Amino acid sequence: MKHSKVIDLLNSTKTLHEVTAKGWVRTFRNNQFIALNDGSTIHNIQCVVDFENTPDETLKRITTGAAICVTGTLAESRGAGQKVEIQVTKLEILGDSDAEKFPMQPKKHSLEFLRENAHLRVRTNAFGAIMRVRSTLAFAVHQYFQEKGFFYVNTPIITGSDAEGAGEMFQVTSLPLDGSAPRNEDGSINYKEDFFGKQTNLTVSGQLEGETFAMALGQIYTFGPTFRAENSNTSRHLAEFWMIEPEVAFNDLADNMDLAEDFIKYVIKYTVDKCGDDLKFLENRLLEEEKSKPQAERSEMTLLEKLSFVLDNNFKRVSYTEAIDILKDSTPNKKKKFQYIINEWGADLQSEHERFLVEKHFKCPVILFDYPAKIKAFYMRLNDNTEPGKETVRAMDILFPGIGEIVGGSQREERYDVLVEKMKALGIDEEELWWYLDTRRFGSAVHSGFGLGFERLVLFVTGMSNIRDVIPFPRTPQNAEF
């Protein structure tokens, strides 16, 4: 008999018919009540065993983590907490689980312990909820762009260019690492002998390649893995993460801000509508966690209130210059409460500054724009008529409560001569990016785009505090387990 998903059984309005369910045992109590979960929902279905007519040998094998198949009558539940239950007539153990060795016992585990067991942590309520939310958000990303007429482009994972100019990249090579790699006369490694005939790396962004497609298809988006060899052991950084990067021909900075705000609101609303039970569980989890914190450190809003806050408020648009003035005059800056004191225009804003603007000053999501050229990437469009030494670019960052920056984007520099000058000033090799410069030689036009780190979005929507808990298998310094 074909088995039914637990979510469908729990939502069924028809009872007193025979059903089959398969899943994993969460708990087994009184030799009678099995809480069965198959991953389709955060809720378990209760399966009632006739223990008097079930062999002891079978009852002993119904342990936490065991995979089982039950057949029986779907009936209205007599117990509290569930509408329906399965009155079991047939039970089969599909896969045993040694109760003494299975790490995911039905008790509270630390997040650090669960990270060490990342291959099994998705069997807990919290991680089941997080990963279902992640899946729904990913679907919403594609649905939004497809509905808007964007084309999905797969940009290369192995690349010879550094889109960010930061140099923090993982090198890809087939050359031996034992010192016997071929060398040039000056002793440097001869990459012409390498697999690709040149030095290559794992991508830090698909943006540059994405721009070339936007200049032919009009509007495109990428959604794929990116890599940063940044030795940051923080709760906000991963070495491998997923990026969403739309690029749109003929869009200026204002259009770019409109697109980013509309996109974020769409995917969050879609997920709130689809993942109500999971988000409610994660909200309650967060409330429990916060009880141990001092009152001053607790969130002013619950998780669902925070999501509504983003959906219900227009994002406040503020220039970098205005933001610096606000921060300079702020109480935490004057009282030296900020770790990084803001003294002058040109400072690179830190997470503490971004969160102050969002959570304390404006009390809504904020889009900062027109940043100093010196602290932004070479491809961002230089503003006209800025005073020497105070040049700004058409960049924008979206700041969220609890997260800080969630989106970074810009209008791209469409003028060939200006772009070449910027590359020269930063020591970026024109020959390496000849193909990128071609888009400015042949039919250049105003265009814009942004990048959104998918895990930061999942972090915000789930209310988790560590980015390692919103990706299936986190890759961080000194950790590539699983």
CATH architecture of the domain with residue range 6-102: Beta Barrel (2.40)
For the chain, the structural domain boundaries read: 6-102, 123-176+189-315+364-469
Answer with the residue of higher pLDDT: 401 or 335: 335
> Which pLDDT score is estimated for 147?
98
Extract the tokens encoding 170: 């993982």
* Contact present, 214 and 206 (Cβ < 8 Å): no
> Which pLDDT score is estimated for 81?
81
> Which pLDDT score is estimated for 165?
59
**Class of 123-176+189-315+364-469 in CATH:** alpha beta
List, as own/partner pairs, every contact residues 330-333 make where C-beta atoms lie below 8 angstroms and the sequence separation is at least 24, other chains included: 330/356, 330/361, 332/356
Average pLDDT over residues 124-151: 98
Confidence band for 106, pLDDT divided at 50, 70 and 90: confident
Digit-coded pLDDT (tens) for 336-368 = 999 999 999 999 999 899 999 998 999 899 999
Distance from the Cα of residue 18 to its chain's centroid: 41
Span of 66-70, 207-211, 423-427 with lowest mean pLDDT = 423-427
* Cα separation, 257 vs 393, whole angstroms: 14
Output the 3-class SS for the chain.
CCCECHHHHHCCCCCCEEEEEEEEEEEEECCCEEEEECCCCCCCEEEECCHHHCCHHHHHCCCCCCEEEEEEEEEECCCCCCCEEEEEEEEEEEECCCCCCCCCCCCCCCHHHHHHCCCCHHHCHHHHHHHHHHHHHHHHHHHHHHHCCCEECCCCCEECCCCCCCCCCCEECCCCCCCCCCECCCCCECHHHCCCCCCEEECCCCHHHHHHHHHHHCEEEEEEEEECCCCCCCCCCCCEEEEEEEEEECCCHHHHHHHHHHHHHHHHHHHHHHCHHHHHHHHHHHHHHHCCCCHHHCCCCCHHHHHHHHHHCCCEEEEHHHHHHHHHCCHHHHCCCCCCCCCCCCCCCCHHHHHHHHHHHHCCCEEEEEEEHHHCCCCECECCCCCCCCCEEEEEEEEECCCEEEEEEEEECCCHHHHHHHHHHHCCCCCCCHHHHHHHHCCCCCEEEEEEEHHHHHHHHHCCCCHHHCCCCCCECCECCC
Digit-coded pLDDT (tens) for 429-456 = 898 899 999 999 999 999 999 999 999 9
> Which pLDDT score is estimated for 212?
97
Average pLDDT over residues 143-148: 98
Distance from the Cα of residue 418 to its chain's centroid: 34
Please give the share of the chain, as a percent, with pLDDT higher than 70.
Answer: 99
> Which pLDDT score is estimated for 164?
62
Domains 6-102 and 123-176+189-315+364-469 share a fold: no
Per-residue pLDDT at 166 exceeds 70: no
Average pLDDT over residues 5-26: 96
Average pLDDT over residues 104-132: 94
Confidence band for 402, pLDDT divided at 50, 70 and 90: confident
* Cα separation, 147 vs 139, whole angstroms: 12
Q: Please list, in sequence order, all residues whose beta carbon lies within 8 angstroms of the beta carbon of residue 162, skipping any fewer than 6 positions away.
A: 169, 201, 204
Per-residue pLDDT at 163 exceeds 80: no
C-alpha neighbours within 13 Å on the C-beta side of residue 385: 0
Per-residue pLDDT at 466 exceeds 90: yes
Q: Please give the order of strands across the beta sheet that includes 447-453.
A: 151-152, 219-227, 240-249, 447-453, 404-411, 392-400, 366-372, 316-319
* Contact present, 38 and 128 (Cβ < 8 Å): no
**pTM here?**
0.94
Per-residue pLDDT at 1 exceeds 90: no
> Which pLDDT score is estimated for 447?
98
Average pLDDT in the chain: 94
Digit-coded pLDDT (tens) for 245-291 = 999 999 999 999 999 999 999 999 999 999 999 999 999 999 998 88
